Amino acid sequence: MDKYQLPFLKQVDDHIDRWKQANGVSREEWRLFLHSVNGTGASIGLVSLTNWAKETMSEEQSFPDWLDMNRLNTYLSKMPKTMKRGISPVSQEEADRNPSLLLIVDHDPIFMTEVKEWLESKGYMVLVALTVQKALQLTQLQNPSCLLINHFFIRDSLLGIKLLKRSIREFIPVMIVGDSDVEEQRITAFNYGVTDYLAKPLVSNRLVAQLANRVQHAKRIQDRILTDPLTGAFNRRFLEVEGNRYLELFQRGQGFFSLAMVDLDHFKRINDQHGHLVGDEVLKTFSKFVQDHVREGDVFIRFGGEEFVLLLPHTTATQAEVLVQRLRTTFDDHLFESETGTFKATFSAGICEVAKEWKTLAQMLEKVDQALYKAKELGRNRTLLYGDHMEKGLASFELIIVEDDMVLREALVEQAKTVQVEDVEITVTSYESGTRFMETDWFKPDGKYLISLDRMMPGLDGIDVLARLRRDFPESQVMVLMLTSSGEPSDIADALTYGTDDYITKPFNQVELIARMRRLIERSISKNIGR
């Protein structure tokens, strides 16, 4: 951290020297300076400096329009002379963990802020939404493990009912939070099929226990209902849910995918010659082999009998062909044993990439089945693509840092360059102010962006920039992570109202921040689909 602390301290000294020459500082510049120190100090290990800034900010209402040096020295004299390190270490293992994702939908920003902070301290990743429209978008893109929805949204909103029914249909537990414990509301909620009805104020420890119970219970149900008991692969019901979700995302311009339909060659002959128990072992061995060799985020489904489907998110047909060919040639080396001797098993595969002319998942399955049939017709043990496809290459994603503090900006850029997501090329750019960022021609119509946006900046502040982003650019392509040095509910409510996808309060641990950026990118391109 010394490489960031020393330049930052020099930056602080430069500010003070300039104020001495000017015999004072304006109220606004002094306020921005304190917010910058409060947000950056502890993030780079200068906890005592942050504590000083926070204490000084508590007197903000009494600051005059111009602070002369006499007034300024009353504050500067209390500035710590020796800076102490104080970063809570976060291991890379902790940063890489994949916690359950929760979504809170409520019209009360203070309540959301308190619950979000509490649940995040317990290891959950939490997204929040002030409106049902935003909640529907987050549910579609981020695939949460559990929802907490204020009763208001199912009482007075058709969209709220849509969100509720959609979540229940996809086996996502839903907890309704009521502003009071009204029996009529409780009955209405349970009639809709919710998991729980909780009345404010929530009991924190009980809430954490209930969430853990519901998420684990839902996972067990999903495993039982959505998993084939023989092979451990997902079943056709899961293909319906996830396939239609990916198709809807594609139709909204938010990603693409390919399907591969796989069929074990001459499987009836294996059953006839070696027995059905051996045939079952072949199915189980093949399923485990595929699941061990595909990428995280790829979905393996037993379609029926000896036929399977691979759903490959963010993958072109050509890329899918390379993956399936590798599976096919590797599996061809495997020897099976039975009482009648050893034997090998092979498979054929058909592949197709999603296209605009296909409006339903059934249409896409029909095309990939045609490719599979042709592969078997041509002699089996081969892979065939449906139609002609152009290679799209790696997906691209731009991570943009907008931060006025030079030291923190450089630290964030350096750490952001270490973010890696499979099959995604991430570029990192930075801007020293919101004004400079909005003046540039940064947006490309086919681009995907995550913008780390500082709340307090001179000129256009974070809220101003966020408002323009949501007004002028498609929300499906531009994600925003707001960095705020203030834990004030009003600031957080402003950020949520204008449409930030998530926020984090300074001071923060850099490893934790970068891990969150990585998770948001992964979820944005639908890499993590498991619940």
- Give the span between the Cα atoms of 47 and 51, in whole angstroms: 6
Distance (Å, rounded) from C-alpha 501 to C-alpha 476? 11
Give phi and psi for 27, each to the nearest 5. -60, -45
Question: 102, 177, 109: which is closest to 147 by C-alpha?
Answer: 102
- Report residue 36 CA to chain centroid gap: 27
In this structure, the strands spanning 424-431 and 257-264 are unpaired
Candidates 242, 306, 398, 403; catalytic one: 306
* Residue 146: strand pairing partners: 102
Count CB neighbours of 187 within 10 A. 11
Amino acid identity of residue 370, one-letter, is Q
- In the β-sheet with 196-199, what is the strand arrangement from edge to edge? 125-129, 101-105, 146-150, 174-178, 196-199
Among candidates 179, 173, 138, 123, which has minimal Cα distance to 156?
A: 179
Integer Cα distance of 175 and 177 in angstroms: 6
Residue 480: closest CA among 127, 125, 40, 111: 127
Map tokens 């040095």 to a residue: 485
Distance CA 188, CA 493 (A): 29
Going from the C-alpha of 310 to that of each of 167, 186, 224, 344, 459, the distances in angstroms are 24, 42, 20, 22, 50
Q: Which helix (H) or strand (E) holds 300?
A: strand 299-304
> Contact 450/429 with Cβ under 8 angstroms?
no
CB atoms within 10 A of CB 133: 14
Rounded distance between C-alpha atoms, residue 26 and residue 43, angstroms? 26
Rounded-to-integer distance, Cα 233 and Cα 310, Å? 10
Phi, psi angle pair for 199, to nearest 5°: -105, 140
Instruction: Please spell the DSSP secondary structure of 417-485, one letter per residue.
Output: TT--BTTEEEEEEEES-HHHHHHS----TT--EEEEEESS-SSS-HHHHHHHHHHHS-TTTEEEEEEES
Is residue 306 part of the annotated active site? The answer reads yes
DSSP 3-state of 309: strand
What is residue 524's three-state secondary structure?
Answer: helix
Residues noted as catalytic: 306
